[in-house]
Structure 1
C-alpha cells in the first residue's frame, strides 16, 4: 500500500473518531498527518523508522507488534500519543487543523493503529515502509530492538 493511501485511511479514521473534527476537510487532515510524520503536505519524506522508534521508545513494543502482525490491533490512549510525539509536534498538528490539542490527541489515538496496520497488510511490511526503515536489515534492527534482542 502506498503512503498516500495510508494517509487517506488515517485522515478518514481521524475524521470519524471521537474528536471534534467538524469542518475539517480530508485534504487538510492528510496534509497535517503527513507533516506530523515528518513529510511534506504531499506525503513525501515521511519517516516511518522514526515513527516506529518513537512507538517503541514510548514502551509500546507489544502494541506495535499487534499493529504490524495479523491479529487484532491493540488500542492506545491519549497519554500514549503524548509519549509517541513531542509536545511541539502535537501542538503544530493541532494548530494546522485549528483544533484543540486534546481533540488532536484523541483523533490520533484512534487513527494511528490502523495507519500502521495498513502499512503492513496481512502482516507483511509494505514496500514503502520497508524502504523507510532501511530495507530488510533495517527492519531486522527495529524488530531486534522491539523484542530486546539488540
Structure 2
C-alpha cells in the first residue's frame, strides 16, 4: 500500500495543516488507507461511490457530492453534516478501526473526502461501474499518484 499511503500522505498533509491537527493524530496511513478503501469500495460499508452518492442524496446533499465529482470547486462539508450523511454506525466503525474518537475523525474526513473523491473522478463524473472493489480502488489511487 505504499503508493496509496503516499497519496493519502499528500492529501492529509494539507488537511492537517488546515485543521492544525497534531502529526499522527489518525494513526498510521495504512490504517487510514484501509478504512477509506473499505468505505469507498463497491463492496464496502456504504456500497461504494454509488452508495455514498445515494446517502448524500437521501440527506438532501446531492449537490455537495456532485461538486466533488464534477469539475469546478468542491463544496465544503462539516463533520456534523458528514455524520448525518454516513450515520453513526459507519462513523463509529471507522473510529474504532482507526483508534480515534469520532470528534477528531469527522473534521479530518470532512476535509479529506472532497479532495479524495475529486481525484478519483477526474473526468467529472462517477464511473458507471463505481470505483471497484478494495483492490481496484487501491489500484486507481496508485494510478493517480503515477500521473502526478
Offset at residue 99 of structure 1 (A): 0.7
Counterpart Cα distance in 2 of 1:124 and 1:32: 23
Q: How many residues align?
A: 124
Q: Which residue of 1 aligns with 2:129?
A: 131
Q: 1:20 to 1:52 in 2, by over 3 A?
A: farther
Q: In 2, are the aligned partners of 1:6 and 1:115 still within 8 Å (CA)?
A: no
Q: Which residue of 1 aligns with 2:114?
A: 113
Question: What per-residue deviation string (whole Å, max 9, x for no partner) do you get for residues 76-116 of structure 1?
Answer: 01111111212111011011111111111111100111122
Q: Where do residues 28-39 of structure 1 align in structure 2 (5 Å cutoff)? A: 28-37=31-40
TM-score, length-scaled by structure 1: 0.67
* Runs of 5+ unmatched residues, structure 1: 134-150
Q: Which residue of 2 aligns with 1:91?
A: 92
Structure 1 runs of 4+ with >6 Å offset: 4-8
Q: Which residue of 1 aligns with 2:103?
A: 102
Q: 1:12 to 1:99 in 2, by over 3 A?
A: farther
- 1:64 corresponds to 2:65: yes
Q: Which residue of 1 aligns with 2:52?
A: 51
How well do the aligned residues superpose, as a CA RMSD in angstroms? 3.1
